[in-house]
Amino acid sequence: MVKKWLLLSTLFLLVALPAKAETMDLQQLIDATPAGGELQLQDGIYKGSFRINKPIKVIGSKNTILQGTAKETLLQIENSNDVTLENLQLKTAKTGIAVKKVNHLYMSGLKLTSMYSGVQLNYAEDVEIAETIIQGIDGHYSKKGNGVAAFNSKRLQMNGLQINQVQDGLYIENVSQIELQNNVIRNSRYGIHFMYTENAKAIENKFNKNVTGIMLMMTKNTDLQRNEINEQNGLNGFGVVLFDGQNIDVEGNVFQSNRTAISAQKLQRSTMKENRFQMNQSAVELIRSNAENSVIENDFIGNIVNLRSDGSETTIQHNYYDDYDGIDVDDDGIGDCSYVALQSFGQWMVRQPAYQYFVESPSVVLLNEMDKQTNAIETDQLVDEKPRMMSLQSVEQPQKRNIGKIVIGIAIVLSGLWLWRREAAI
Amino acid sequence: MKMRWILLVVMLVAMLQACGNKEYKPREIVSETDVCEVCNMSIVHEDYAGQIALKNGDYKMFDDLGCLVEYMEDMDNDNLGQAFIKDGGGKDWVDVKTASYVYDKETWTPMSYGVIAFKSEGAAKDWMSEKKVGKLLSFADLEDFKWGVHH
């Protein structure tokens, strides 16, 4: 009889444990953990809204779920140092994680779903967010918030984030020293939206099917390097917009199939170097930008319009243009006559974007041919006096010899000869 | 005969007056396609949006008051019909020239310029006393305002 009761009790406990997690008050567990301590959470659903205001590590398991309501913030972290969050799934909230006045925050392995906005940082310093998934809600981007929004903060790092279907993937306002690397942002309004930011780096990120890949506004001393910016090709689509920026280096990026790859407006002392512009409607447009900018050593391949401007002067040099029809008699890799990118129709498109829909019409093709004739005497606007004859890719990647294939080829030829000789001998 | 001439003149004057008093109305924002004429931002925060109805019937849309004012400074005034901005509540369009404004550095707007519009000076003062922040501005003050340098 006693054994039977023991067996029943054990079975009851085994069944009841997950239920205990479901109803567990996470706030009590946080409060019970001493400052500087570590809170290991079991698999289960922790419902409610929670607050952290002391140094603590909160480490989840494979299926640790924090669940809130659509009207409030799920997790608030305020007035604290040294907070770590790992392996947590956050579901259903107005804002997933709201951070205010926190130093040394590390978040990794998080998954945020079904919420208006993901993470908000205010007055935060030394924050790293890594390997985190943020999946926005359905609907138009005007009806939802940002993936990660950072305001008035310093020394931030965001690496390996996957953000989909939000307003702005990463909204960065009044932040200094921020590094954004290996993030993938898709189907949103802007991939990264910089406002009043200094000393930022966006490196090796991927942007796909957003309205604009990177929207950079009133920002200084920023590097955009080796990013892949593809298919921002909607009605108002841009790969990158540089609006009122200073000392911006756009280097080594790939822009493919965007409506306009780079639109530079009121840009100063900035460089676009070693980028590949491939199959965009317009590659680079320069509006109200000053003469200290430079567009150098880029590849322009398969774009409808390579360069256009409203008269803004810019240093344009050593680029490769696939429609350049000059020759290189002295074989120095530089064309012997200038490349002139001036296209009457391209210029009109700057002023009236709706003209883009006539871009391959017979009259526009004829106009472009007439431009080519008149451009021979243009020496001022959109002129590259030293166009390269080869693209960066073909220069940098010399033809590799595949030893394996050569050996197989020789073997086939020798076998053929041997068979032929043998047949001849018979 | 004289009466006929007077009647004709009165009718002509009335017709000319009707032509001169064209009424301009703001149009609805279309978030999917409207972008700011100055900065190219999509207009998704309608509560801060502005627009200019041109005399030729076209509209220029703006995401933030600062962009609208910048555009007005550069445009040919002969083309300007009427300019509108959303009031602080984000419900009604108000004429930019008769609206009152409040600047507060910490108040968010799409371009973070921190200036929001109100139907009347009273409404602006009510907002300031409720929030305990802000500086009252008129439209004339906006023409000299240093947009975006407060960060």
B31-56 pLDDT, tens digit per residue, is 888 999 999 898 999 999 999 999 99
Looking at residue A29, what is its pLDDT?
95
The pLDDT of residue A369: 83
Residue A276, judged by CB atoms within 10 A of its CB (0-12, 13-18, 19+), counts as buried
Q: How far apart are the first and last CA of chain A?
A: 95
**CB contact at 8 A, B50 and B85:** yes
What residue ranges in A204-245 does DSSP mark as E strands?
A: 206-208, 212-217, 220-225, 228-230, 238-243
Residues from chain A that touch B41, judged by Cβ atoms under 8 A, are 215, 217
Q: pTM to 2 decimals?
A: 0.84
Give B40's contacts in chain A (Cβ within 8 Å): 212, 215, 236, 238, 241, 243, 263, 265
CA distances to A84, A150, A246, B150 from A216, in Å: 30, 14, 10, 18
Looking at the partner chain, which of A167, A195, A235 has a beta carbon nearest the beta carbon of B112?
A: A195
B42 touches A: beta carbon within 8 Å: yes
CA-based nearest distance A265→chain B, Å: 8
Dihedral sign from CA coordinates of A343, A347, A348, A354: positive
**What are the residues whose beta carbons fall under 8 Å from the beta carbon of B133, sequence distance 6 or more?**
B104, B106, B107
- The two tokens of residue B57 are 């019937």
The model's confidence at residue B146, banded by pLDDT at 50, 70 and 90, is: confident
Instruction: Compute the average pLDDT of residues A199-220.
Output: 97
What number of C-beta contacts closer than 8 Å exist between A and B? 42
Residues A402, A397: Cα–Cα separation, whole Å:
14
In what helix (H) or strand (E) does residue A220 lie, and over which residues does it extend? strand A220-225
State which residue of chain A sits closest to B45, comparing Cα positions: A142
**What residues form DSSP beta bridges with A91?**
A67, A113
pLDDT band at A379 (very low <50, low <70, confident <90, very high): low
The answer on pLDDT for A10 being more than 80 is: no
Query: What distance separates the 2 farthest-apart alpha carbons in chain B?
Result: 72
Identify the weakest region by mean pLDDT among A173-177, A338-342, A399-403, B78-82.
Answer: A399-403
- CB-CB under 8 Å, A174 with B151: yes
pLDDT in tens, A343-370: 888 777 766 777 878 878 898 888 888 8
Query: What's the pLDDT at B1?
Result: 61
Query: SS3 helix, strand, coil % of chain B, rounded to 5?
Result: 35, 20, 45
Asked if B148 reaches chain A (Cβ–Cβ under 8 Å), the answer is yes
Handedness of CA B109, B110, B115, B118 (dihedral sign): negative
Q: Are A322 and A341 in contact (CB under 8 A)?
A: no
SS (H, E, C) A141-153: HHHCCCCEEEECC
CATH class of the structural domain A24-396? mainly beta
User: What's the length of chain B?
Assistant: 151
For residue A279, the distance in angstroms to the closest alpha carbon of chain B comes to 22
> How far apart (Å, rounded) are the C-alpha atoms in residues A78 and A357?
51
**A240 to chain B: closest CA residue:** B40
CA distance A392 to A276: 8
Instruction: Give the chain A residue whose CA is nearest to the CA of B34.
Output: A236
Asked whether A201 and A182 are in contact (CB, 8 A), the reply is: no
Q: Do residue B151 and residue A218 have CB atoms under 8 angstroms apart?
A: yes
Give the model's pLDDT for residue B52: 97
How far does CA B62 lie from the centroid of its chain?
10
Provide the pLDDT for residue A348: 77
Query: Are residues A173 and B40, on separate chains, in Cβ contact within 8 Å?
Result: no
pLDDT grade for A395, boundaries at 50, 70 and 90: low
What value does the mean pLDDT take over residues A8-17? 42
pLDDT at res. A19? 38
The CA-atom distances, in angstroms, between A378 and each of A51, A291, A371, A387 are 66, 18, 10, 15
Q: Per-residue pLDDT for A378 more than 80?
A: no
CA distance B87 to chain A (A): 19
- Per-residue model confidence as pLDDT tens digits over A273-331: 999 999 998 999 998 887 789 999 999 999 988 998 887 778 999 999 998 989 999 99
What region does A18 belong to: left with phi over 0, alpha with psi -120 to 50, or beta?
alpha
B146 close contact with A: CB closer than 8 A: no
Domain boundaries, chain B: 25-144
Q: For A119-131, what is the mean pLDDT?
A: 98
The whole-number average pLDDT for the span A95-103 is 98
Mutation site for B-interface testing, chosen from A236, A238, A288 by largest number of B Cβ within 10 Å: A236
pLDDT, residue A396, reads 60
Position A15 pLDDT exceeds 70: no
What residues contact residue A57 under an 8 Å CB cut-off, 6+ apart? A37, A38, A39, A83, A84, A86
Let me know: does A250 contact A277? Beta carbons within 8 Å: no
DSSP H or E segment with residue A368: helix A362-375
Cβ atoms < 10 Å from Cβ of A181: 18
- The Cα–Cα gap between A149 and A175 comes to 11
What is the sign, positive or negative, of the torsion defined by CA atoms of A8, A9, A10, A13?
Answer: positive
List the structure tokens of A18. Answer: 């997950």
Residue listed under structure tokens 């924002």: B29
pLDDT tens digits, one per residue of A185-197: 999 999 999 999 9
At residue A77, the pLDDT reads 98
| pLDDT of B124 above 50 | yes
Instruction: Say yes or no for a CB contact (<8 Å) between A196 and B42.
Output: no
Residue (of A318, A308, A319, A278) closest to A382 by Cα position? A308
Residues in B touching A211 (Cβ below 8 Å): 42
CB atoms within 10 A of CB A63: 12
% pLDDT > 70, chain A: 91
Q: Is B107 on the interface with A (CB under 8 A)?
A: no
Best to test chain B binding among A153, A175, A195, A260 (most B CBs inside 10 Å): A195
